[in-house]
């Protein structure tokens, strides 16, 4: 029989983690089954977790990571200087041992892979579950274990750590809530308190935005590019909804294998139903696919202002200077002033290499022209259950911060250029938290457009 982790043992873990934290049980093999798919379904993208193992000799040990487990995509190690292993009992007796990660091994703290469960270290340093291991008489046999590679075991060998046995009666994974939902505490990106006053100030800032007068640009142009289904058209619909005062769907959007956008559409956003257009346009374009996408030369025409609004993309007949409507003498107001790359947050770990390469090819053209870039990371509500109720917690969710870091590395951009958002999708009424997050993204985009126009004047 397994003796559950006791209150005083939980307090010891709290002390080691640092602060008064709350533990929420996510996964338990005796209840949920001992297979990797179930572990990742219940534990991925949950932020900090504690894994606790109870072996058949009543020895209790495990590991803590401040990072999220992620099972999708290829196997990879995760950097975490806060990770540690621990032992709470040995043969039923309290021992309270903490084994910190070695300084040079931060990059090997945990190992994420879709076909194994929680793995600590590059060895691994701790027993872990693999896929579809069935119990016999309530006993689960874990995978092999090595020690003294990633974590400082203080001279303890395998026998001293796990009682030299990999047969366990249970394994539990707890989410660790480190007070991370308190405004201003443990945020990965600083932000003022999200209240109605802040929302109205953001809205006013965007409504009153004007491009630099000396540039003769009346509306800055924001080009949206990204994979099919990432949410380019939905971003326009979300911004349009905010200023119209109701959830709208002016641009076609949805989930299909092929892009619903077949034309370059330079959408305007108006204040109210029939008010004045605001001083920016959101330019929607064809979605990228493995075997299709935007021709690099046509993309250059788009950036340079040669491509007319409502131009229909046709792989069999590409845009050229001889095409009707081709703008042979574009001015500064015709050009693209900032590019927003739209990425689905749930697909970051499984983005096809073909799509990444297509985007990087386009980035070369963007960089050659000195056009600023942002990445709109959509569907963040599908990354964390908390965000399904309230996206005002976005900057407090460690899993979102980790995805921002990954996207920044993939596309070679600073983290400040990676902006998480949630588009209107299932909602039928406007929500202040969704509006605030979207307007924060749009304000950043407009600030970058001003940077481009300033450089244009300097030249």
User: What are the two backbone dihedrals, phi and then psi, of residue 343, each rounded to the nearest 5 degrees?
Assistant: -130, 135
161 and 86 within one domain: yes
347 and 213 within one domain: yes
- Measured in residues, the chain has a length of 459
Q: Cis (ω within 30 of 0) for the bond into 399?
A: no
Its domain, for residue 95, covers: 7-177
| Closest to 168 measured CA to CA, from 307, 18, 2 | 2
pLDDT in the model for residue 182: 42
Instruction: Give the other-Cβ count within 10 Å of 361's Cβ.
Output: 13
Read off the pLDDT of residues 124-158 as tens digits, 9 standing for 90 and up. 666 665 555 556 667 887 776 667 688 998 888 88
DSSP string, 378-391: E-GGGT-GGGGT-G
Residue 277 in any domain: the answer is yes
What is the rounded CA–CA span in Å between residue 414 and residue 405?
Answer: 9
| Closest to 68 measured CA to CA, from 21, 35, 109 | 109
What is the rounded CA–CA span in Å between residue 47 and residue 25?
Answer: 13
**Helical spans, DSSP H, in 165-266:** 196-207, 232-244
Instruction: Give the other-Cβ count within 10 Å of 146's Cβ.
Output: 14
276 and 226 within one domain: yes
What is the rounded CA–CA span in Å between residue 71 and residue 75?
Answer: 8
pLDDT in the model for residue 184: 39
DSSP string, 208-251: T----GGGT-SSEEEEEEEBTTSSHHHHHHHHHHHHHTS----S
For 435-449, give one letter per residue: b (16+ CB within 10 A) or e: bbbbbbbbbbbbebb
| Closest to 356 measured CA to CA, from 290, 273, 400, 281 | 290
150 and 204 within one domain: no
Residue ending a domain, choose from 117, 144, 177: 177
What is the rounded CA–CA span in Å between residue 159 and residue 253?
Answer: 58
Residue 202 in any domain: the answer is yes
271 and 144 within one domain: no
95 and 11 within one domain: yes
Residue 93 in any domain: the answer is yes
User: Longest C-alpha distance within the chain, in Å?
Assistant: 84
Read off the pLDDT of residues 211-248 as tens digits, 9 standing for 90 and up. 988 889 999 999 999 999 899 999 999 999 999 999 99
Residue 189 in any domain: the answer is no
**Helical spans, DSSP H, in 75-187:** 158-162
DSSP string, 334-360: TS--EEEEEEEGGGGGG--HHHHHHHH
| Closest to 345 measured CA to CA, from 425, 230, 258 | 230
Residue 186 in any domain: the answer is no
pLDDT in the model for residue 35: 83
Residue 1 in any domain: the answer is no
Spatial contact of 231 and 379, defined as CB atoms under 8 Å apart? yes
| Closest to 347 measured CA to CA, from 375, 309, 305, 389 | 375
Name the DSSP letter for residue 69: B
What is the rounded CA–CA span in Å between residue 135 and residue 167?
Answer: 10
Residue ending a domain, choose from 177, 209, 239: 177
User: What are the two backbone dihedrals, phi and then psi, of residue 416, each rounded to the nearest 5 degrees?
Assistant: -65, -15
| 140 strand-pairing partners | 168
For 391-422, give one letter per residue: b (16+ CB within 10 A) or e: bbbbbbbbbbbbbbebbbebbebeeebbbbbb
Instruction: Give the CA-trace dihedral at 268, 272, 275, 276, to 10 degrees.
Output: -40
47 and 151 within one domain: yes
| 151 strand-pairing partners | 101
161 and 263 within one domain: no
Residue ending a domain, choose from 148, 177, 206: 177
> Coil, strand or helix: which one is 260?
coil
Instruction: Give the other-Cβ count within 10 Å of 95's Cβ.
Output: 14
Residue 379 in any domain: the answer is yes
290 and 172 within one domain: no
334 and 242 within one domain: yes
Name the one residue in this structure whose structure tokens are 């504690």: 50
Please tell me the total count of domains within the chain: 2
321 and 390 within one domain: yes
What is the rounded CA–CA span in Å between residue 343 and residue 234?
Answer: 12
CATH number, domain with residue 351: 3.40.50.300
Q: Which mean pLDDT values do the consecutive 10-residue runs of the chain (459 residues) have?
A: 77 84 88 87 90 92 91 78 93 92 90 87 66 65 73 87 85 78 59 90 96 91 94 95 94 68 92 90 92 89 96 92 95 96 90 92 96 96 83 87 92 96 94 97 96 84
144 and 66 within one domain: yes
Residue 426 in any domain: the answer is yes
């Amino acid at each position: 029989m397994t003796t559950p982790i006791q209150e005083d043992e939980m307090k010891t873990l709290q002390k080691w983690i640092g602060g008064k934290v709350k533990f929420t049980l996510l996964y338990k093999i005796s209840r949920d089954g001992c297979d990797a798919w179930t572990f990742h379904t219940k534990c991925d993208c949950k932020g900090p977790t504690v894994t606790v193992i109870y072996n058949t000799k009543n020895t209790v040990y495990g590991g803590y990571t401040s990072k999220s487990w992620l099972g999708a995509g290829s196997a990879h190690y995760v950097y975490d200087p806060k990770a540690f292993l621990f032992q709470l009992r040995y043969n039923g007796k309290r021992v309270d041992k903490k084994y910190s990660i070695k300084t040079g091994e931060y990059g090997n703290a945990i190992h994420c892979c879709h076909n194994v469960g929680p793995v600590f270290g590059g060895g691994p340093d701790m027993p872990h579950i693999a896929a579809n291991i069935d119990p016999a008489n309530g006993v689960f046999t874990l995978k092999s274990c090595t020690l003294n590679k990633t974590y400082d075991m203080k001279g303890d060998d395998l026998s001293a750590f796990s009682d030299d046995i990999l047969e366990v009666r249970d394994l539990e994974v707890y989410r660790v809530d480190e007070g991370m939902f308190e405004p201003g505490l443990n945020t990965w990106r600083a932000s003022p308190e999200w209240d109605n006053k802040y929302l109205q100030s953001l809205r006013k800032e965007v409504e009153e935005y004007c491009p630099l007068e000396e540039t003769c640009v009346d509306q800055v142009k924001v080009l949206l590019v990204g994979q099919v289904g990432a949410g380019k058209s939905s971003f326009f619909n979300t911004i349009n909804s905010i200023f119209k005062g109701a959830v709208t769907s002016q641009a076609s959007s949805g989930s299909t294998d092929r892009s619903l956008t077949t034309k370059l559409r330079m959408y305007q956003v108006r204040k109210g139903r029939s008010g004045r257009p605001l001083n920016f346009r959101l330019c929607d374009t064809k979605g990228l696919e493995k075997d299709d996408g935007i021709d690099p030369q046509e993309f250059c025409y788009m950036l340079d202002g040669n491509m007319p609004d409502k131009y229909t993309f046709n792989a069999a007949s590409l845009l050229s200077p001889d095409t009707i409507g081709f703008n042979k003498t574009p001015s500064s107001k015709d050009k693209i002033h900032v590019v927003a790359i739209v990425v689905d947050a749930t697909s970051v770990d499984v983005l096809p290499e073909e799509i990444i390469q297509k985007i990087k090819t386009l980035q070369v053209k963007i960089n050659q022209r000195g056009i600023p870039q942002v990445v709109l990371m959509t569907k963040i509500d599908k990354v964390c259950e908390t965000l399904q109720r309230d996206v005002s917690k976005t900057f407090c969710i460690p899993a979102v911060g980790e995805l921002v870091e990954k996207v920044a590395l993939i596309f070679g951009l600073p983290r400040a250029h990676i902006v998480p958002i949630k588009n209107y999708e299932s909602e039928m009424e406007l929500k202040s938290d969704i509006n605030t997050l979207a307007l924060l993204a749009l304000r950043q985009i407009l600030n970058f457009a001003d940077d481009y126009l300033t450089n244009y004047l300097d030249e």
